């Protein structure tokens, strides 16, 4: 008995590997130890991909119950923003970020997660590299998690760098 030869399978191309193009990285800095360590990770990624780093700090506005006397608080926020910009510039020098690798320094006033997500969207960032403090329990409930909100709302990928000294969540 003769059998029919099996039909040759049509050659198919394997799925192409993900091509990750990272040209711009946003690095939110709150001047804590974990966020400073995150800058090292962001620098390594920037060097590997030839990307530019944009360092960002958000000044949380000072709350007041007296809205009529709010003008002095606006001045206070401006002073804090200027000081933050100087501190970020100093961090650029301390970290040894090459001039061609720096995409900019941004200081904004507002809710941290909103401002970070907004800057990433407006500047069309390819990646956000952000620290987490690893708060759990009541501290997490009380302080909330800026990082968690950034992950939820960002329009680009977010790399979360966990502080190695932080406790594990239960």
Q: Whole-angstrom Cα distance, residue 59 to residue 77?
A: 7
How many C-beta atoms lie closer than 10 Å to residue 151's C-beta? Answer: 18
Q: Is it the case that residue 69 has pLDDT exceeding 80?
A: no
- Split at pLDDT 50, 70, 90, the class of 20 is confident
Give the strand order in the sheet containing 52-59.
102-109, 52-59, 24-28, 127-132, 158-162
Between strands 102-109 and 158-162, the pairing is: unpaired
Lowest mean pLDDT among 9-18, 77-86, 116-125, 160-169: 9-18
Q: Whole-angstrom Cα distance, residue 67 to residue 164?
A: 42
Sign of CA pseudo-dihedral 108, 41, 145, 125: positive
In the chain, what are the domains? 24-162 (3.40.50.620)
The phi and psi torsions of 16 (rounded to 5 degrees) equal -70, 145
Q: Whole-angstrom Cα distance, residue 21 to residue 123?
A: 16
Question: Which pLDDT value is given to residue 93?
Answer: 94
Q: Is it the case that residue 123 has pLDDT exceeding 90?
A: yes
Q: Whole-angstrom Cα distance, residue 33 to residue 17?
A: 36
Question: Which pLDDT value is given to residue 14?
Answer: 57
| Mean pLDDT score across all residues of the chain | 81
Write down the residue that tokens 């100093």 correspond to: 90
DSSP string, 98-138: -GGGEEEEEEEES-HHHHHHHHHHHTT-SEEEEEE----HH
């Amino acid at each position: 008995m003769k059998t029919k030869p099996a039909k040759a399978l049509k050659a198919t191309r394997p799925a192409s590997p993900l091509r990750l193009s990272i040209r711009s990285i946003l690095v939110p800095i709150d001047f804590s130890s974990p966020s400073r360590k995150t800058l090292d990770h962001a620098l390594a990624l920037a060097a590997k991909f030839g990307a530019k780093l944009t360092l960002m700090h958000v000044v949380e506005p000072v709350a007041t119950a007296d809205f009529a006397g709010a003008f002095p608080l606006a001045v206070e926020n401006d002073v804090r923003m200027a000081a933050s910009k100087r501190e970020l510039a100093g961090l650029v020098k301390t970290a040894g970020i090459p001039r061609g690798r720096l995409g900019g320094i941004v200081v904004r006033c507002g809710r941290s997660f909103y401002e970070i997500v907004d800057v990433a969207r407006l500047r069309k960032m390819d990646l956000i590299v952000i620290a987490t403090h690893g708060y759990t329990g009541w501290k997490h409930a009380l302080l909330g998690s800026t990082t968690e909100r950034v992950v939820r709302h960002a329009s680009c990928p977010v790399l979360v760098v966990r502080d190695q000294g932080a406790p594990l969540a239960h």
